[in-house]
Copies of this chain bind each other. A is one copy, B any other.
Amino acid sequence: MTTDALIENVHFRRDTMPVHDVGWRAMAANISDLAAMGARPLLATVALGMPLDFPQADVLELYRGMLDVASRHGCGIAGGDLTGAPELFIAITAIGEVRPRRVKGRGGARPGDIVAVTGALGASRAGLHLADNASMLNGELREQALAAHRRPEPRVAEGRWLAASEHVHAMMDISDGVSTDLARMCVQSHCAALLENVPVASSAVEAAKQRGEHAQAYALAGGEDYELLLAVAPRAFTHLSSRFNKRFGRPLYAIGRFREGSGPYVRQDDGEAPLPPTGWDHLA
């Protein structure tokens, strides 16, 4: 059972995001939490607060966005509550089903485990910057960034598949950036981690270049990528990653190692440095 709320002007702005995609993102954030538990989504409820002048067509578009992503993952919308509010907010609760012994949680990572992610990171932040400069990216890179930002795909099938493996010791979704979320996993697992090689989405590489920023920062500190972050037993990683690739058509990326100690570190040219929760930005 999971709850996640989106608030206008805190989490999104209506002038830069279609209401359909506001609905999609709100629902995707909840379904991603279920994916991180290895759960099959069942039902969601929606508490929607809106200004009195919010157009009825926009209410329908908002629900269409929620339904579009929910239905892709077998999740129904069971009902909810509509109310007046000073600004738009969407609080969604979703319930899912998983065998208790498959639930990984964040506390199972062990020193020596591989830090892994289910996909390249940073595209959502590239998509966010498109709101400031719409012509920054073109073609496929533009599509990649917009889709990642507006219509992220929760990794439900991947989460259920990974939850079934005894070699996966911990799992969570990356909603606040890998630097922040890996720090949480380190705290819960009482260990440290060293990041060596984080895959950066091609749209993030290009957006960072155009903006004169570090592409690694997009991958480490950019939130809302909704890939899964895992701790995997080292001896099983190669086999698991190869089976993952066969099943999902893309690799399971090894991005570092857990070790004794506390908190996340990142490899730099001249050694390594502690990784603050806001990621690479503070190291630059």
Contact = CB atoms under 8 A, between A and B. Distances in A.
Interface of A: 1-5, 7, 9-11, 43, 45-47, 49, 78-81, 83-87, 89, 91, 93, 95
Interface of A is mostly: strand
List of 6 A-B pairs having minimum Cβ-Cβ separation, nearest first:
A93-B93, A91-B91, A47-B91, A3-B45, A5-B47, A3-B80
A273 B152 CA distance: 55
A47 B11 CA distance: 14
Contacts of A79: 1-3
Nearest to A93: B93
A45 B89 contact: no
Residue from A11, A43, A45, A91 with most neighbouring chain B CB atoms (10 Å): A91
A46 B11 contact: no
Given A91-B91, A95-B95, A84 B46 contact: no
A225 B211 CA distance: 58
Contacts of A43: 1
Given A81-B91, A91-B81, A45 B2 contact: yes
A232 B10 CA distance: 49
Given A3-B45, A4-B47, A86-B86, 20 more contacts: A1-B45, A1-B95, A2-B45, A3-B47, A3-B79, A3-B80, A3-B91, A5-B49, A5-B81, A5-B83, A5-B91, A7-B49, A7-B83, A7-B84, A7-B86, A10-B83, A47-B47, A81-B91, A85-B89, A95-B95
Contacts of A46: 3
Given A47-B91, A95-B95, A3 B81 contact: yes
Residue from A47, A87, A95 with most neighbouring chain B CB atoms (10 Å): A47
A84 B6 CA distance: 10
A275 B229 CA distance: 58
6 contacts: A3-B91, A3-B93, A4-B81, A5-B81, A10-B83, A10-B85
Contacts of A9: 86
